[in-house]
Amino acid sequence: QRPAQLAQLLDYMGLLSTLNPAKVLARMPANTGGIPQLRRRLLRILQHSQLREFQHAKCSVMLEDDALKLLRQKNQGLRRAIKVTSSLRCSLCSRPLTGENPASDSTEGVVILSSKLGYHRSCYARECNK
């Protein structure tokens, strides 16, 4: 009855992803001659283990590719220009970011974040220095 139980255990072991086949095989008794179709069962365990390793490697590559693609999309979105209109106001002082006199606005400068929040450079510097 013991060889039949070991055979059944080997059949189920190939399906479990948490078992290390090398460790299990090292703990098997030396007299395993009575286990029916032992060679076929051991080969199946190794094949399942190799398949899991292959799937893990491919999933890691796919995950890395997806992360890189999303990072590129995000970076591309952040590099887009933001149109500054007269309705855009400083988020700190509520004054318009653009005024009647473009020369005075260009000397002060504005800071526009990717979230489309705008600040006068002087307001932004003052807030950062607090």
pLDDT in tens, 57-96: 999 999 999 999 999 998 887 777 777 777 888 899 988 8
Q: Check pLDDT > 90 for residue 18.
A: no
Q: Per-residue pLDDT averaged across 42-54, rounded?
A: 86
Sign of the dihedral through C-alpha 57, 62, 66, 69: positive
Q: What is the DSSP string of 71-98?
A: HHHHHHHHTS-----TT-BBTTT--BSS
Question: Which one has a higher pLDDT value, 111 or 62?
Answer: 62
Measured between alpha carbons, how far is residue 128 from residues 94, 121, 123, 125 in Å? 17, 10, 9, 5
Give pLDDT, residue 71.
94
Asked if residue 53 lies in contact with residue 22, where contact means CB atoms within 8 angstroms, the answer is no
Q: Per-residue pLDDT averaged across 18-29, rounded?
A: 75
Identify the CA nearest to 108 among candidates 78, 118, 128, 85: 118
d(CA 10, CA 24): 9
